Structure 1
Amino acid sequence: MIGGFDVGPDRIVLGLFTGLTYGLLAVGLVLVYRSSRFVNFAHGAVGVFGAAVLGRLVGDGVLPYWLALPVGMLAAAAVSGAIELSVVRRLRHRPRVIGMIATLGLSQFVLVLALLVNSSGASGPAFPAPPGMPSFTIGNTPVGPAFTAMLLLTPVLLVGLAMFLKRSRFGLAIRAAADAPDAATLNGVTAARMATLAWSIAGAVAAFSAILMAPTQGTQSIESLGPALLVRGLAGAVIARFSSVPIAFGASLGIGVGEQILLSGQSSGGLVELALVAVILVALLAQPARARRDGEDGGWGRIGAPPLPAAHQRVWLLRNLGRVVAGVGFAVAAVLAFVISNETASVLIAIIGFTLVGLSIGLVTGVAGELSLGQFAFAGIGAAVSVQVSVRTGNLFLGILAGCAAAALAAVAVGVPALRLRGLALAVTTLAFALATSTFLLRQGWLLGDGAQVPKPRILGHTFDLATDYYLFALVALLLGLWVTANLRAGAFGRILVALRDNADAARAFTVAVPVRVLQAYAVAGALAGLGGAVIGHGQTQLTVNTFPASASIDVVATVVVGGITLLGGPLLGAFLIVGVPGFLELDIIGQAALTLVWLVVVIALPAGLGGPVLWLRDRIAALIARGRDAPVPSATDEMAGPTQAASSGGPITLPPRTVPLRPAATGEPLLSVREVARSFGGVRAVAGASLDVAAGEVVGIIGPNGAGKTTLFEIIAGFTRPDRGAVLFAGRPVTGLSPQRRAGLGLVRSFQDARLFATMTVLETVMVAGERTAPTSLVAAALGATAPDQAKRRRAEELVTLMGLAPLADRLVGELSTGTRRIVEITCLLALEPALLLLDEPSSGVSQTDGVALGEVLRRIHDELGVTMVIIEHDLPLLARLADRLVAMDGGRVIADGTPQEVRTHPDVVRSYLGTDHAAVNRSGVPAQRTTVPS
């Protein structure tokens, strides 16, 4: 015994047995992720369904155990494959978080199906154990046949799975489709079919795990095995970074051993879940930071709420239509307090509480694009702290404030790993945290313990004892939550979060402080969840842990998606369906299954949720009201009106005075100095000791063949990639260790090859994001609805948009524009940043020859009239010849020539590596370059 825990050999052996099944779960999760870059949150539930099928077949004597085992595995494989085929694949053009949320609903639906198949829902001694397996004792611990089956059968399944993936035609196809889907398709492998096959195999493996684990779970119901199994498998998969099957399996063995040791303690309730949270946090923090969102496929524009046309918004009623509808709605809701019963009021209070928590998910997921599965855990923390502080101080409002603050701090602490690993980190961490909160944290005496008496609100001498009275108090809290959320979503803070969601790298290049803004989003969302928890908590007579189960975190996510994840009123619409229907109607298990099926259909069929028909009705009403006043909206053909040509002619470009003076370099020192930087990726040396000096006011062109290391050098200079060695100095200041946003704040600004920018934002909004450098947004001001700072940013953005010939497209989404027009939008954003030095990465890429000439004129004017220093990577040599004072040629990650354009163009190494093999690039822009003779 160590510290009250048994670490003897019997516990370790039992832990290894249990870890075998966890390892199989993790293997299934890795298979699914590698095949489709997707986490199936129904994975554990699918395994439980397979176990339910076996339990029913064996329990009713339909089949003997060893024949029922493959049947149960096949049933789970069919369910898992059907999920991928009928749900996940249908949602592939929407944001990935929507598909993962759909699997959360499917997990509940599949668990209900499992209970319908095996109504006893039993595990432990009542669940069939594998016959013919020996039982024995290790120390004082009996080892039953289920553990023995784990030991004997798991290696067989693993070896068979490994042989299938490495030797069989289908296994090789699955691996090929997972690693390189495009290349696999060219070789005749259908990646979509291979993904379905991988999901089916994972489902069968999950069933195998659940079947062998069910007899070992004591009196735990089969329904509760779903989320618990999932988190244990997720922990191993996270340690393996969802990529390595052996690491996932080995880590799961360790998790199994740790679980058995923790369960041996006298007071082990919730310790396992708490330890899983710690393991996941440590694993995530230990992994290398990932600057880019892994495999993010966008799609937010397909589910968003398009604003009314600008002409419609000139009509006061249409401009304020949302406020008018909300005001009428709240007036009607307030009147209801005087006509409804206490039972009805209690249901409405629950709807309000879920809506407030849902608003937090709408902010984190619908706006910022990060999936959180622990918001109801934060609500529980907020409720518990609010009650405790209210009791001790006698001040309800101080208690609610403390509850919101506690929930905000918890959300920030749990969300820290998402700062390093974009995508799945927050979802996995918060799911584990939700389980640990309900099983351990809230059970502590200083929070809820065995239950806490709840003080009722008392205002102006009136105590809100009755549910109908308290409903009015909850309604005020909802109004406050909606007001703050609306301010944040509609203002500059919401715009920043959308920018981070659409393209985090571009946002960083525009000086957006990503860690600060992400943590602010988590904190605000946590505070909103805490407010919702306080509303729910103070509506109870006695508050217990059962009020905030882990499953409620999934329910509240469902309310947001069903109502419309990008809509402010989406959580309210979804709460009426998912919370209101079972609250007003008594639903049996079949009714619960039907309700879950209904909201799944809504998610699949209505991209904007229940808010979609509401938006359609809004647009019809707006069209009727504005009839006769509407002005034409720019069409797709209007885009080609020539923003590039417009920007290349006209009046002088002017910028406001610098708000942060640039620290000048010492006399005679270059503005930018790159010294012997090197960077390798695996065994590939992308940059191998490159050096470069750029003087203030200079235009330097960088040329070289593909793979020469040019873009990687830019990444190092701009701070998006850290060099293995070497240093970067800007204006005499070492910046090698600074983030991209810090460098952009100093005036070292870069562009990107693809000029993607922010697909779901308008041109004007995109330029306003770039205005963050000169006028950073205050979170407090944004939450309170202060508009003056944002209006100043809007005016400056409008000035630049007009100046660059983009005014007709100001309200068009960037994702709808051609590459050439996006390039001009990007340059407009760069101007808004007040740069000192521009790093332009192939600015003519994707631009027509005519627009390429005009683009050169724009860049020349920016340099001549603003004195902006430029470093340009470009394959269009005539364009560089018109712009550059000096050319630098690279090959193999090194600088091979540096001098005037003519000197570099005729350098033998340059001719050999680049010019001599690409005359099309030499003459691309129609301005003939001097013909270079290639030595024979």
Structure 2
Amino acid sequence: MTLAGVAPLFLGNYDFGIERLVLGLFNGMTYGLLAVGLVMVYKSSRFVNFAHGSIGTFGAAVLAALVLDRGLPYWLAFVIAILVAGGVAALLEIVVVRRLSGRPSLIGMIATLGISQLISVFALVLNSSTGLAYPVPPYLPSFKLGTLTVGPPHIAMLIMGTALFIGLWYFLYRNKVGMGIRAAADDPDAAQLEGIPAKRMASLAWAVAGAIAAFSAILVTPTASGVSIEGMGPELLLKGLAGAVIARMASIPIAVAASLGVGLIEQILLSNPDTTGLVNVVIGLVIIIALLRQPILGRAGKERVSWRRVIAEPVPAAYREMAFVRWAPRITLLVVVFTSIGVAYVITNDTAAALTSIAGFAIVGLSVSMLTGVSGQLSLGQFAFAGIAAAASVHVVNATGSFVFGVASGVVSAAIASVLIAIPAMRLKGLALALATLAFALASVSWLLRLDIFLGSGISPAKPVWFGYPVEYAVDYYLFALAMLALAFIVSKNIRESGFGRSLQALRDNEDAGRALTIPARLRKFQLYAVAGAIAGLGGVVVGHSQSQLTVNSFPSSASIDVVAIAVIGGLTVTSGPIIGAFVIIGIPALFGLGFVGEAVLAVAWLAIVVMLPDGLGGVVLRARNAFYDMLARRRGIDPVHVRLGPAAPSQSPLQRALNLEGAMDGIADLRADHIDPSSGTPILSIQQITKRFGGVVAADGVDFTVAQGEIVGIIGPNGAGKTTLFEMVAGFTTPDSGHVVFDGLDVTKATPEQRAVAGLVRSFQDAGLFPTMTVRETLMIAQERVAPTRLWWSLLGVKSAEVTKGEAADLLMERMGLSPYANRTIEELSTGTRRVVEIASLLTLNPRVLLLDEPSAGIAQSESDALGELLLGIRRELGTTMVVIEHDLPLLSSICDRMIAMNLGRVIASGTPDEVRNDPAVVRSYLGAESAAIHRSGLHLAPVPDQSDQPTGNFPVSTPR
């Protein structure tokens, strides 16, 4: 097929006859059942069950084994197979999924990939004697519809599928148990309070979904001739996913209707010989478009869960004084290098070929580790990029005779392909990105790589020629693969330990906070995809040139799942993890050979590592190393806790400590050379008729005010008043429907948060969450991105000079702010008050001209409020920094602000001095309603106001100033 084969997609002759339409609806019903199961699992577990299709094919395999091997009656075996599949799904939820609660949904999806592999192996074992034969439902008629023979499987789809849809509707919307499943899926905590056992309902939802998957697969397998079990799981999953995604993983009726459409599209494309390979392409495009149009499922999520650190904890300086600790890593590295090279001279060509395969897969695994471990994004299409690179390299080498040019062309082509996929991926994350890349992987195998400009029907790769020496033997080629693995490893290690890797970790932990600290999120993601694609491409080149004949079967979609397994088993947080994982996943089967039992054991091991070892086998090795070093340190009289975490935290609160440090305010002032005169009164920030609506809710309604240079303005209002939405628009995280934000005379309404922060318009966040897996020192280094942006090329080359400078500046700032005792502690270990000081120090590092502080006292002890107020006043006094502060602690706000603005229902209802605003009748009513008793209890003495019972009641009392 050539590129011209795309033209019939729009111009070709398609069969719209009744036969095709009926067959499309039959298949669409099956996909609709799959979509229903996917929706049920997603609603209960909040991630896609990638094993859903495999569970279905396992049920079909059980049926085939019972009927064809054991001779059981079809309908009895049908019931047993359905029950077995449902039981397997429920068992997986209890044993695996439930244990992953509290971890990123990405980990749950990875676990289901392992489950899928395991179940596929068991399905193959069951079908080993029956081949790919599946029994046909008996006692059902056949008839002709034009040229189409409507057989028993189609009749079963129509009759039983319709009955199942009706039964499901009644069960979920009329039956108490079904309604309990829906309630527990929508809000498990609320359901638990109502007496609904949420965990039990989740298991039941998985069981029903598994039974539905088996029902679908049993009906579709007799009509899917020639499709392997390994391929049927992903194929069925993709088609079921299309309907589920269109339904936003929420509406079962929409999922069914959309799946009927998917079945029709599939049959229309299959009716034209030129577009039979485009089925997965079109369905993939449907999924991506549906994801991009969805406000939650397809956008970058804000999942607040426990990630892992990107790099291993460094060996403490005190340990490096011990000779063993100093020399052991160097000696180990030399032993590994010389052993890896030395084996080339003692192994056979077969063993060398296996080791080459390990190296190629490990390189692609390094790209997965970078995407998933560093940035928290799951790509299921990395091996497709490897295939693109291999094809490009082979064609260029065959055309030019230059192997170096060919390798470079392959790497660049994979990087470009990865960046092109990243264009829609900028708006996708987690679940959505995994689905999009899965669709890309399947489309690559079914269409893209089959084009003549890529692999076509097969091409013969040239072997490398280095300085006139042809690398023809497998043992020689192994050394080339080893060199490429070393190159990929060095680049990956440099990236992880650089400012580039640190900024990716920050965006993974908390993208909004990262952007507020001027990390260019979009640029960093494009760069990440380019680097990850290039590394995957290098692995593809190694795999491609090692084979005598290169076909699309050399880069199956299942290989993209294998490299995910490689990265996870070795450890996503360990640079060498993919090398360890490749030896397990690729090396053991290649070197020793595994039957079905061995493959099953390997799949179980993968699953166990995902569930029980978050840092993989590499993490186990690192923990063992650290424990050994700690033992050596104790023998030398060194306290491991002290050297790893630093001295014990002082008893004085961080806020009070920052104020009491001699010269702390002077040190803060040194951060800025352009001190601003706070008495000038020149407007620096102007909010002009800002309006924002979310559906029928008006979050901001013509908000209009100015802030003078050097002024502290407080914003008050009850919950739902629109205060935080206003900050989101002023800081650039939300686009207003109308109005303008003018900063220092420039209209910044369309500027990004990063651009505003660079200009000096900086915001904080209510929870001061920052970056949970990063240390205080690393966080303050991130804050220096504005003054010393990280350069990708320096990061790739491992140049450390800029990092040393940033580290020294962070150390100095920690000393001035009293944060030195917390330098090596991660943000998630700190109290809210300490996090608040770290956040303020980070914001000051940006040299802000205007600080937007969102409830700075939230979560801190009342005793620390005075210290916080004094700190903010000190910052204004020394730096002249303008501040706009949202705060519910009115005594604190009244003690620091020059002017106060009150909001309610998205509007400004009062403005003036703190006393004027606090005693404004409209403000009092917005907080307390019109009850005179409530007003009296608040301590305010107001003139009588007319009763306005329709005024809203707020959530926070108005206090008198301290």
TM bucket normalised to smaller: over 0.9
What corresponds to 1:332 in structure 2?
339
Q: Aligned ranges for residues 773-784 of structure 1 at < 5 Å? A: 773-784=786-797
Counterpart residue number, 1:153: 160
Residue type of the partner of 1:647?
A
CA distance in 1, matches of 2:652, 2:358: 50
Please give the alpha-carbon distance, in whole angstroms, between the structure 2 residues aligned to 1:337 and 1:106. Answer: 36
Is 2:857 the counterpart of 1:848? no
Q: Paired residue for 1:219, among 226, 229, 239?
A: 226
What is aligned with 1:300? 307
- Alignment match, 1:399: 406
Q: Tell whether 2:846 aligns with 1:819.
A: no
2:783 pairs with 1:770? yes
Other structure's SS at 1:823 match: helix
2:467 counterpart of 1:460:
yes
Deviations 1:622-643 (A, max 9, x none): 2355453746244796264432
State whether residues 748 and 835 of structure 1, in contact with CA within 8 Å, keep that contact through their aligned partners in structure 2. yes
Task: Name the SS for the 1:679 alignment partner.
Answer: strand
Write the deviation string for residues 765-789 of structure 1: whole angstroms up to 9, x where unpaired. Answer: 1111111112111111111111122
Indicate whether 1:12 and 2:21 are aligned. yes
Q: How many residues align?
A: 927
Query: Cα gap change, 1:201/1:313 in structure 2, threshold over 3 Å: closer, same or farther?
Result: farther
In the alignment, is the contact (CA less than 8 A) between 2:689 and 2:739 conserved in 1? yes
Q: Give the equivalent residue in structure 2 for 1:118.
A: 127
**Which residue among 498, 501, 508 is the counterpart of 2:508?**
501
Match of 2:668 in 1: 654
Task: Say whether 1:345 aligns with 2:345.
Answer: no
1:915 CA displacement: 6.9
Per-residue Cα deviation, 1:789-839 (whole angstroms, up to 9, x for no partner): 222222222222211110110110001111111111111110111111111
Distance of 2:938 and 2:301 partners within structure 1: 42
SS in structure 1 of the partner of residue 598 of structure 2: helix
Within the alignment, does 1:43 sit opposite 2:52 as a pair? Answer: yes
Over 3 Å counting, the alpha-carbon distance change for 1:931 and 1:438 in structure 2 is: same
Structure 1 regions of 5+ residues with no counterpart? none
Counterpart-to-counterpart distance in 2, 1:302 and 1:668 = 46
CA distance in 1, matches of 2:675, 2:798: 32
Query: Taking structure 1 as reference, are residues 320 and 703 closer, same or farther at Cα in structure 2, changes over 3 Å only?
Result: farther
Change (3 A) 1:227 1:320: farther
For 2:261 and 2:676, the matched residues in 1 are separated by: 54
Match of 1:881 in 2: 894
Q: For 1:300 and 1:121, locate their aligned partners in 2 and report how far apart those are by CA, in whole Å.
A: 45
**1:688 is aligned with what amino acid?**
D
Separation in 2, partners of 1:422, 1:747: 29
Q: Does 1:738 align with 2:742?
A: no
Q: Tell me if 1:91 matches 2:104.
A: no
**Secondary structure class of the residue paired with 2:668:** coil
TM-score normalised by length of structure 2: 0.92
Q: What does residue 242 of structure 1 align with?
A: 249
Q: Does 1:580 align with 2:587?
A: yes
> Higher mean Cα deviation, 36-45 or 714-723?
714-723
| Aligned pairs (5 A) from 1:212-291 | 212-288=219-295
Match of 1:862 in 2: 875
Structure 2 CA distance for partners of 1:823 and 1:559, relative to 1, 3 Å: same
**1 CA distance for matches of 2:486 and 2:577?**
15
Task: Give CA-to-partner distance per residue, 1:241-284, whole Å, 9 cap, x none.
Answer: 22222222222211111111111222445321222222222222
Name the residue aligned to 2:654.
Answer: 643
Distance 2:137 2:94 in 1: 32
Q: Is the Cα–Cα contact under 8 Å of residues 570 and 581 in structure 2 kept in the other structure?
A: yes
- Return the alpha-carbon distance in structure 2 between the equivalents of residues 299 and 657 of structure 1: 33
Matched, 1:184 2:191: yes
Structure 2 residue matching 1:90: 3-state secondary structure: helix
- Which residue among 727, 738, 742 is the counterpart of 2:740? 727
Q: Measure how far apart 1:896 and its partner are.
A: 1.0
Q: Distance in 2 between matches of 1:301 and 1:673?
A: 41
Structure 2 distance, partners of 1:848, 1:292, is 36
Alignment partners' CA distance in 1, 2:709 and 2:259: 57
Alpha-carbon deviation of 1:867?
1.0
**1:705 to 2:712 alignment:** no
Say if 2:927 is the partner of 1:901.
no
Moved more, 479-488 or 684-693: 684-693
- The aligned residue for residue 484 of structure 1 is 491
Matched, 1:196 2:212: no
Are positions 1:361 and 2:349 aligned together?
no
How far, CA to CA, are the matches of 1:311 and 1:588 in structure 2?
A: 50
User: Is contact 1:639–1:809 with CA below 8 Å preserved after alignment?
Assistant: no
Q: Distance in 1 between matches of 2:428 and 2:276?
A: 31
Counterpart contact for 2:243–2:256, Cα < 8 Å: yes
| Separation (CA, whole Å) in 1 of partners of 2:573 and 2:618 | 9
Distance 1:935 1:844, change over 3 A: farther
Query: 33, 36, 44: which one pairs with 1:27?
Result: 36
Larger CA deviation: 611-620 vs 857-866: 611-620
Q: Is the 8 A contact 1:77 1:202 kept in 2?
A: yes
Give the unaligned 5+ runs of structure 2.
1-7, 946-962
The 3-state SS of whatever aligns with 1:165 is helix
How far does the alpha carbon of each residue in 1:9-29 deviate from its partner, in whole angstroms, 9 at most, with x for none?
Answer: 221221111111111111111
| Deviation digits for residues 186-240 of structure 1 (CA, Å, limit 9, x no counterpart) | 2122322221111111111111110110011122233421111111112222222
Are the equivalent residues in 1 in contact too, given 2:43–2:250 (CA < 8 A)?
Answer: yes
The answer on whether the counterparts of 1:797 and 1:832 sit within 8 Å (CA) in structure 2 is no
Q: After the TM superposition, which of the residue ranges 244-253 and 546-555 deviates more from structure 2?
A: 244-253
Name the CA distance, whole Å, in 2 between partners of 1:246 and 1:719: 38
Q: CA deviation at 1:166?
A: 1.2
Taking structure 1 as reference, are residues 314 and 714 closer, same or farther at Cα in structure 2, changes over 3 Å only? farther
1:525 to 532, 535, 539: 532
| Shift in alpha-carbon separation, 1:314–1:800, aligned structure 2, 3 A | farther
Q: Deviations over 1:325-354 (max 9, x none)?
A: 333311211111111111111111111111
2:655 aligned partner, one-letter code? T
Distance 1:724 1:290, change over 3 A: farther
Is residue 794 of structure 1 aligned with residue 794 of structure 2?
Answer: no
- State the distance in 1 between where 2:670 and 2:527 align: 30
Name the CA distance, whole Å, in 2 between partners of 1:91 and 1:242: 21
Measured in 2, the distance between the counterparts of 1:336 and 1:298 equals 44
Task: Tell me the equivalent position of 1:104.
Answer: 113
Query: Could you tell me whether the CA contact under 8 Å between 2:676 and 2:710 is conserved in 1?
Result: no
Which range moves more in the overlay, 315-324 or 880-889? 315-324
Corresponding residue number in structure 2 for 1:628:
636
Q: 1:897 to 1:74 in 2, by over 3 A?
A: same
Report the equivalent of 2:561. Answer: 554
Structure-2 residue corresponding to 1:55: 64
Give the match's secondary structure for 1:607.
coil
Local SS of the residue matching 1:691:
strand
Distance of 2:325 and 2:883 partners within structure 1 = 46
Q: Mean Cα displacement is larger for which, 213-222 or 56-65?
A: 56-65
1:80 aligns with 2:73: no
Shift of 1:120: 4.0
TM-score (norm 1): 0.94
Q: Which amino acid aligns with 2:113?
A: L
Cα distance change on mapping 1:843 and 1:932 into 2, 3 Å: farther
| Match of residue 762 from structure 2 | 749
Amino acid corresponding to residue 417 of structure 2 in structure 1:
A
- 8 Å Cα contact 1:639/1:817 also seen in 2: no
Partner Cα separation in structure 1 for residue 675 and residue 652 of structure 2: 37
* Native 8 Å contact 2:692 2:699 kept in 1: yes
